[in-house]
Amino acid sequence: MGEGRLYGVGLGPGDPELVTVKAARLIGEADVIAYHAARHGRSIARSIALPYLRDGQIEELLLYPLTTETTDHPGGYQGALDDFYAGCAGRLAAHLDRGRTVVVLAEGDPLFYGSYMHMHKRLAHRYPTEVVPGVTSVSAASAVLGRPLVERDEVLTVLPGTLPGDVLADRLRDTDSAAVLKLGRTFGKVRDALAEAGRLDDAWYVERATMGAERVAPLKDVDPEGVPYFSLALLASPAERTFVPPPVTAPASGEVSGEVSVVGLGPAGRPWLTPEAQEALAAATDLVGYGPYVDRVPPNPRQTRHRTDNRVEAERARHALELARAGARVAVVSSGDPGVFAMASAVLEAAEDFPGVPVRVVPGLTAAQAVASRAGAPLGHDYCVLSLSDLLKPWDVVAARLTAAARADLVLAIYNPASRSRTWQVAAARDLLLEHRDPATPVVIGRNVGGDGESVTVTTLGELDPGQVDMRCLLIIGSSTTRVTGGGVVYTPRRYP
């Protein structure tokens, strides 16, 4: 293990063909690719770099804890961001200390209003570092307009739209050319400042320069509604009309403030993983869970993975809490939502013996919601969720609840209908429901929805074949009002007769 190397790589304004040759080479050679994103989890930087990524690279998603929201952080907004940057620097340092090459992606130029600079301040004095410049949004806007920014002795001023309106007006009044970035919510203020400075008629609006949704218009004609952050105001050439924080080192494992996050992975696949869940997984030092669920999280050698059998929930929960008490940031993973027949209850129950360990539950898309969406809207009215498993409760309780739900005319979402050792419950449940439901009641069988071999079958309660149902299935039993259209779409009307 040797000393790693850090690169801040500029990607240009959006068109992947405007990535420099050097940037493309470094991205393809890197061991670790890091990129920032807002809480929605979508990274423009990653989308630009995608043609140059290769299989097997480690990805570090650096999710901002907030953008414009308020915060109860004791240090306020800046304190929350400082903690976030310190945590990100620590995560990258863990790779650098192991001799890995780390590339931090940055839209435009890394040191031009870029997120990379916060990593540079905290790491460049500790590791060999190189910044690879990129085409800025200002240059891209000038290019798509086909107008020069400055000529001869003219002065170009670059301003953030977040400045006070009177300051913007003064600066715009006294310069030859100008670019005002960070529009979005500031657009109205910037427009007023241009008008006050007498420059509104000369100003151009450029949105997403060089990207597929590129838009160019006279700024005075632009509707403020819907103006995105990735836009700018440009005054072209008239001829054409520091604070550096102290270094932050990666904390030793024993100094990390430990916690347990019980994370819902959704039914299957990254598209159904929430941004909050992505953030919790990215920040974790340890992953704990049933083996197949842990395997669904992309590997990261910075993290330790603890795979267990499916029937040791209590032991798994205690293990996670013990790790957190020792200082680890633990993500306990569950399929679907962790609070629905999953690990949240087990962890919270065990947490009574670990009073000093914080536990939070990160929700996920449930299997019932996923199957319902594939079928149509069978859960459109009142419904209940039941498990047919009698491992943790007796069958007579299951039967009583099935009967009560059937009498109440509720749609049922049935989890755990069968397994290798439980093969008779589906038929027994069908017979109980038929005592109160018409045999023509619609039934949806969702198997492995979102994964390989997904299938959704629509049948009726009278024709439900238990042989079609296995441990990877979820059943939805309709109510008296549930309907099936001629196209096979199942829905339950919101109005009750």
Confidence of residue 241 (pLDDT cuts 50, 70, 90): low
pLDDT of 170 over the 60 cut:
yes
Domain boundaries, the chain: 5-135, 138-240, 255-365, 368-491
Q: How many CA atoms lie within 13 A of 348 on its CB side?
A: 10
Eight-class DSSP state of 467: G
pLDDT of 2 over the 70 cut:
no
Q: How many CB atoms lie within 10 A of CB 492?
A: 23
The CATH classification number of 368-491 equals: 3.30.950.10
> Residue 380 in contact with residue 492, Cβ under 8 Å?
yes
- The 10s digit of each residue's pLDDT in 445-490 is 999 898 888 899 999 999 999 888 988 899 999 999 999 999 999 9
Q: Counting Cβ atoms within 10 Å, is residue 292 exposed (0-12), middle (13-18) or buried (19+)?
A: exposed
- The 10s digit of each residue's pLDDT in 11-55 is 999 999 999 999 999 999 999 999 999 888 889 999 999 999 999
Tokens of 480: 């008296």
Q: What share of the chain has pLDDT > 70, as a percent?
A: 96
Q: Higher-confidence residue: 2 or 419? A: 419
Nearest to 247 by CA among 132, 127, 101, 78: 127
CA distances from 215 to 45, 141, 206, 218, 323 (A): 20, 10, 6, 10, 51
The whole-model pTM stands at: 0.74
Least trusted range by pLDDT, from 107-111, 236-240, 249-253, 438-442 = 249-253
pLDDT of 76 over the 70 cut:
yes
DSSP letter string, 123-137: HTTTS-EEEE----H
Q: Which CATH number fits domain 5-135: 3.40.1010.10, 3.40.309.10, 3.30.460.20, 3.90.550.10?
A: 3.40.1010.10
End-to-end Cα distance, the chain: 71
- Full 3-state SS string of 306-369: EEECCCCHHHHHHHHHHHHHCCCEEEEEECECCCCCCHHHHHHHHHHHCCCCCEEEECCCCHHH
The CATH classification number of 138-240 equals: 3.30.950.10
How far is it, in rounded angstroms, from Cα 371 to Cα 449? 6
CATH topology agreement for domains 5-135 and 368-491: no
Q: What is the pLDDT of residue 452?
A: 81
Tokens of 431: 């017979």
Residue linked to tokens 């049933």: 290
pLDDT of 256 over the 50 cut:
no
Q: What is the pLDDT of residue 460?
A: 94
Q: What is the pLDDT of residue 20?
A: 97
In sequence order, the β-bridge partners of residue 6 are 102, 129
Q: What share of the chain has pLDDT > 90, as a percent?
A: 74
Pairing of strands 129-132, 5-10: parallel
- Full 3-state SS string of 60-110: EEEECCCCCCCCCCCCHHHHHHHHHHHHHHHHHHHHHCCCCEEEEEECECC
> Residue 105 in contact with residue 12, Cβ under 8 Å?
no
Radius of gyration of the chain (CA): 28
Residue linked to tokens 């947490």: 351
Q: What is the pLDDT of residue 46?
A: 95
The CATH classification number of 255-365 equals: 3.40.1010.10
